[in-house]
Amino acid sequence: TNAMTEWSADAARAIVQKVDTGEILAMVSLPDYDPANWKDASGISRKNRTITDQYDPGSTMKAVTVSAALNEGIITPDSTYEIDKSRKWYYGGHSLGDHIDGIVDVRTIIKKSSNIGSAKIALEMGNKTFYNYLMRFGFREKTGIDLPGEAYGMLAHYEKWEPIKPTRVAIGQGISVTPIQTVS
């Protein structure tokens, strides 16, 4: 509630998950309501945003991208990529910028959240492999949490991807997920 007030946010959500089992220890969606007076609550406050709302996950996808490529043996933590922050990187007719510069390794791509580095790694995997990892991570599917109203994530099948798509999914754009999917 304090963060909502401080940032003038309309809503907030949080999930605490036990990592080794996947058990949800705590979950909150704000604004909330008094269940005893549910008829007086607005529809938006009765919504469990942790399982219904979809958003572009942003930089959290960089860890997914890198872990898939590491697992495939396509890269190692010491693999390097050239990134020039003074100019845009073009792929598929579109540009992508970055805030890091030089020859950087995979550790730095994750640590400094490099857009271009993550995009280049996704391209090395190929669309089919990258997409299959996204499916194995559970994106585009319900988690199966025992609560009503859980939404699917959104991601087009790789055969329908335009050339730019893997470079954007790798940085968390062009894919929509729910908070529960992100945590899981």
Taking CA atoms, 124 is separated from 130, 151, 170, in Å, by 9, 31, 11
Active-site annotation holds for 67: no
103: helix, strand or coil = strand
Structure tokens at 163: 């050339």
Does the bond joining 179 to the residue before it have cis omega, within 30 degrees of 0?
no
Q: Using DSSP bridges, classify how beta strands 80-83 and 102-105 pair: parallel, antiparallel or unpaired.
A: antiparallel
The C-alpha torsion from 103 through 108 and 114 to 118, rounded to 10°, is 90
Residue of 8, 29, 45, 59 marked catalytic: 59
Active site residues: 59
